[in-house]
Amino acid sequence: MQRRTFLTGAFVGTAALALGVNLYPNKVEAPAEDLYSRLLFSVLVPVFLDGMLPEVAKPREIVINRTLDAISEAIKVLPSEQQQELAELLGQLESRLGLLLLSGSVTPLIMRQPQQLISMLESWRFHYLQLLQTAYLGLRELVMASYYACPEHWGGIGYAKPSFLLK
By CB under 8 A, name the binding residues for other proteins: 1, 4, 47-52, 70, 73-74, 76-82, 118, 121, 125-126, 130, 133-134, 137-138, 140-141, 143-145, 147-151, 154, 156-159, 161-162, 164-165
Cβ proximity to other proteins, 21 vs 54, nearer residue: 54
Q: From the CB of 48, what's the least distance to other proteins, in Å?
A: 4
Measured from the CB atom, the residue of 97 and 150 that comes closer to other proteins is 150
Measured distance CA(103)–CA(91) in Å, rounded: 14
List of residues 6+ apart from 153 with CB closer than 8 A: 52, 63, 66, 67, 147
Q: Toward other proteins, which CB reaches closer, 70 or 93?
A: 70
What type of residue sits at position 2?
Q
Q: Which is nearer to other proteins, 20 or 167 (CB)?
A: 167
**3-state DSSP call for residue 51?**
coil
Q: For residue 25, which amino acid is it?
A: P
What is the smallest separation between the CB atom of 157 and other proteins, expressed in angstroms?
4
Is 32 in contact with 75 (CB distance < 8 Å)? yes
Q: Tell me if 124 sits within 8 A of 135, measured CB to CB.
A: yes
The distance of closest approach from Cβ of residue 128 to other proteins in the complex, given in angstroms and rounded to an integer, is: 11
